[in-house]
Structure 1
Amino acid sequence: MNEVPVPPAHEQTTAQAPVPCVVWLAWEHDGPELTETEAIGWTPAAVLVRVYDRRWRLGGVWVPASDVRRLAPR
């Protein structure tokens, strides 16, 4: 439910390596869920995160940058 439109390609930055992060994913029927994943692209306003979940058939989703937090290296 918190998916945002894909930003224009010229605004996107692609990660050279995936960046560990946590993201709030708002599911239509199950509500919000905090999930550990990886950021693979971004703009100042949105982040492309990988989604490993049967409820989402695509490999990733663009969400508002405010819904994503970078994880500290382990």
Structure 2
Amino acid sequence: PGARAEFSWADGMTRAAVFEDVDAPRYLSFRWLPFARDENGETVPRPQARVEITLSPTDEGVEILVVERRMDGALAGATA
């Protein structure tokens, strides 16, 4: 918890995050910072959101559940 990460996309966009909880090897959560950087390094506002990743063993392998929620409570992404 507290460690930072930076994610990069093929279009040059980058976004930083802060890890909040880790319960290896079952659970990980991080918070997106409220901005991204475009291919020129310019700041682009983005909603702050929390991402939770849960791994659960199944008979066939591992079920992966990813939930992203905006910090204002709106659902920012889909669950899978």
* Short-chain TM bin: 0.3 to 0.5
Structure in which a larger fraction of residues adopt strand: 2
Whose helix fraction is larger, Structure 1's or Structure 2's?
Answer: 1
The answer to which structure, 1 or 2, has the higher relative contact order (CA under 8 A, 6+ apart) is 1
TM-score (norm: length of structure 1): 0.32
Larger radius of gyration: 2
The alignment's TM-score, normalised by the length of structure 2, stands at 0.31
